[in-house]
Structure 1
């Protein structure tokens, strides 16, 4: 019904947008006892992070986890990344995952194609699974391509830059993947701008060594 209401606001109440059929009572319904599995009233997982960063309260109790990125924080990251890419004349595909790899927020910028969208997801998944930015294995494989078969075939990692674990105050709360070039500014830079906007100096970011003059 939530989806129906949203579609009605956008498209209007005309056919084929119809009300869902009411649920029907089932004949011969079983009477197997159904156990409860929930935290006591008022009890929720604790987190040291600000409530605007992570899932809190009843929502955290429902998933038994107080350190998953909140949907509002994910939207703020994506919004900043989107605007940053737009300022450079481009768009981006953005995937933000929680610590279990479930989608929290996803955007497909106008003009993005399947490969942009899919690789953004792969970058987020790789960053989550490896607990490090995808730019690290990207540089390592450029320096020593012999690791390619293991990284790409055995583990199924996607090592183009643009994927980052989201680590705030030392706690990993999710991962982000950006694809599509972000208007030429770079997928990783787009993700970094979003993370800084959402978490300030509390978020862990990649630090590159100074460039050699040689």
Structure 2
């Protein structure tokens, strides 16, 4: 049996993610909050722009948590929790609330889940784009 060690998400990685997401949002003229969680769901980094709506801090964190727990982009899960969807009760089934709005992405390294990023404050498609830009920057 072979074991492969995957380097966990570091605070330096989290800074790369925050910087890239913030730059993408700033270029689009959008104020956001950005949350980065490690594989255990623990906060590695958080940043809220001065003028970002206050709730964006909560939404960015819940998006990251949802992406981490389900190992999926939150944008891909929206239809699953609609009233006729197979997971319609999932948002309220857990102690810690999930959020099924685009803007959360899992982060993988060498095929393993190492954390997640959530962005809140813009339109859902914008938040998803900012998060995707950040994950792409980390993989360079």
Question: Which TM-score applies when normalising by structure 1?
Answer: 0.58
Unpaired runs of 5+ in structure 1? 1-45, 49-66, 201-214
**Residue 209 of structure 1: aligned partner:** none
Partner of 1:212: none
The 2-side partners of 1:80 and 1:108 are apart by 14
Q: Which residue of 128, 134, 154 corresponds with 2:93?
A: 154
Q: Following the alignment from structure 2 to structure 1, what is the Cα–Cα distance between the partners of residues 66 and 12?
A: 23
* Other structure's SS at 2:139 match: helix
- Which structure: larger Rg? 1
Give the 4+ runs in structure 1 shifted more than 6 A.
none
Q: For residues 38-187 of structure 1, what are the structure 2 equivalents within 5 Å?
A: 47-48=5-6, 67-142=7-82, 144-145=84-85, 147-148=87-88, 150-155=89-94, 156-181=97-122, 186-187=126-127
How far apart are residue 147 of structure 1 and its match?
A: 3.5
Tell me how far apart the structure 1 counterparts of residues 112 and 92 of structure 2 sit (CA, whole Å): 30
Aligned-pair distance for 1:142? 4.6
Q: Distance in 2 between matches of 1:116 and 1:88?
A: 17
Output the aligned Cα RMSD: 2.1
Aligned length: 135
Of 152-161 and 101-110, the range deviating more from structure 2? 152-161
State TM-score, norm by structure 2.
Answer: 0.86
Give secondary structure in 1 for the equivalent of 2:67: helix
Q: Distance in 1 between matches of 2:85 and 2:34?
A: 28
CA contact (8 A) 1:85 1:185 kept: no
Shift of 1:188: 0.8
1:143 to partner: Cα distance: 8.5
* Uncovered stretches (5+) of structure 2, i.e. residues with no partner: none
